[in-house]
């Protein structure tokens, strides 16, 4: 079973990111920079390929990696992850023990600056629509053939460097469910992240809620989008209430929803 890490990153000048992330398997690194370049190297017996493109957009980056992969299992990665030493064995064992799984959400804890740890995967089980939105791209591992067969890809409208600043991961996961991809969760830890400065989240601003409204429309359509908006406002109120009132946040989400409808 060939496992490959698909890394989205920016402004890399060499392959030092491989050691930084503790990558020990094959890997494709999509480096968005100001040049076009290709580096290939064998490191510790693994094939590392880095493609540098003068372009921006995280969805474009992830699609570029996916289209160049020839692995059985792909792990989606951001450049702030550090993999555990035996992640290949953990991933291979999980897919071997669950042959029905076409995508597995693994644990990638986030170590916050205040000392707390954010853990997304609480138990092993099947991922369904109602509990799918809590996962991010870094949790995702999938059988590449299943994703290609379902004609799935990452949105070029959502995520860093695009019109709507985040959400390409949620849209990819929910679209996978709609296409019948069998998704499971697994509590095993494959990597960790040290909390840093986010490239897309700068607080609960009007733009944040505008983009979130567009995302919920893309995910849920005309009816479900309103339910997603309401539950989000109620559930996240303790987090955003110091920066924006609920009515203003709702107005921005409705504007974002309408903008997505108008453009599509």
Residues 184 and 231 placed together within one structural domain of the fold: no
Note down the domain range covering 57.
3-194
Cα separation of the two ends of the chain: 40
Let me know if residue 29 belongs to a domain.
yes
- What string of pLDDT tens digits covers the 264 residues of the chain? 999 999 999 999 999 999 999 999 999 999 999 999 999 999 888 999 999 999 999 999 999 999 999 999 999 999 999 999 999 999 999 999 999 999 999 999 999 888 888 999 999 999 999 999 999 999 999 999 999 999 999 999 998 888 998 899 999 999 999 999 999 999 999 999 998 755 556 688 999 999 999 999 999 998 899 999 999 999 999 989 889 999 999 999 999 999 999 987
Q: Report if residue 85 sits inside a domain.
A: yes
Instruction: State the pLDDT at residue 222.
Output: 87
* Domain boundary residue, one of 148, 167, 194: 194
Q: Say yes or no: 116 and 233 in one domain.
A: no
CA atoms within 13 A on the CB side of 260: 23
Sequence-distant (6+) residues with CB within 8 A of 81 are: 21, 108, 138, 191, 192, 193
Domain-located, residue 96: yes
179-217 pLDDT, tens digit each: 999 999 999 999 999 987 555 566 889 999 999 999 999
Element (H, E) at 42: strand 37-43
Look at residue 199 and tell me if it is in a domain. Answer: no
Counting the structural domains of the chain, the total is 2
The CATH number given to whatever domain includes residue 79 is 3.90.550.10
CA distances from 171 to 1, 77, 87, 160, 223 (A): 28, 17, 26, 14, 17
Mean pLDDT, the chain, rounded, equals 93
Identify whether residues 140 and 229 lie together within a single domain: no
- In this structure, the answer to whether residues 178 and 73 fall within a common structural domain is yes
| pLDDT value for 201 | 62
**Per-residue pLDDT, 147:** 98
Phi-psi group of 180: left, alpha or beta (phi > 0 → left; psi -120 to 50 → alpha; rest → beta): left
Share of the chain above pLDDT 90, in %: 85
Q: Is residue 200 part of a domain?
A: no
Based on the fold, state whether residues 152 and 229 are members of the same structural domain: no
Say whether both 153 and 189 belong to one domain.
yes
Residues 41 and 152 in one domain: yes
Residues 6+ apart with CB under 8 A from 170: 132, 133, 135, 215, 219
Task: Say yes or no: 167 and 75 in one domain.
Answer: yes
Shared-domain flag, residues 177 and 258: no
Confidence at residue 121, expressed as pLDDT on a 0 to 100 scale: 94
Residues 22 and 143 occupy one common structural domain: yes
- Judgement on whether residues 215 and 163 belong to the same structural domain of the protein: no
């Amino acid at each position: 079973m060939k496992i490959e890490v698909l890394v989205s990153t920016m402004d890399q000048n060499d392959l030092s990111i491989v050691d930084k992330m503790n990558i020990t398997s094959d890997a494709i690194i999509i480096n968005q920079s100001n040049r076009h370049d290709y580096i290939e190297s064998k490191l510790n017996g693994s094939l590392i390929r880095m493609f540098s493109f003068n372009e921006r957009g995280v969805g474009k980056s992830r699609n570029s990696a996916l289209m160049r992969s020839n692995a059985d299992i792909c792990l989606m990665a951001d450049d702030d992850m550090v993999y555990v030493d035996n992640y290949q064995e953990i991933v291979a064992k999980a897919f071997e023990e669950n042959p029905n799984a076409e995508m597995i959400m693994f644990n990638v804890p986030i170590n916050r600056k205040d000392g707390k740890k954010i853990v997304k995967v609480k138990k092993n089980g099947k991922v369904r629509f109602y509990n799918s939105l809590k996962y991010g791209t870094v949790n995702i591992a999938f059988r590449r053939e299943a994703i290609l067969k379902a004609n799935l890809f990452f949105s070029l409208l959502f995520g860093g460097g695009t019109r709507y600043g985040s959400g390409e991961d949620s849209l990819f996961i929910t679209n996978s469910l709609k296409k019948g991809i069998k998704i499971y969760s697994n509590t095993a830890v494959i990597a960790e992240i040290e909390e840093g400065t986010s490239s897309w989240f700068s607080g609960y601003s009007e733009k944040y809620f505008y983009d979130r409204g567009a995302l919920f429309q893309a995910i849920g359509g005309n009816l479900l989008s309103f339910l997603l908006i309401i539950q989000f406002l109620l559930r996240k109120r303790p987090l955003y209430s110091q920066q924006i009132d609920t009515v203003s946040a709702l107005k921005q989400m409705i504007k974002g929803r309408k903008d997505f409808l108008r453009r599509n």
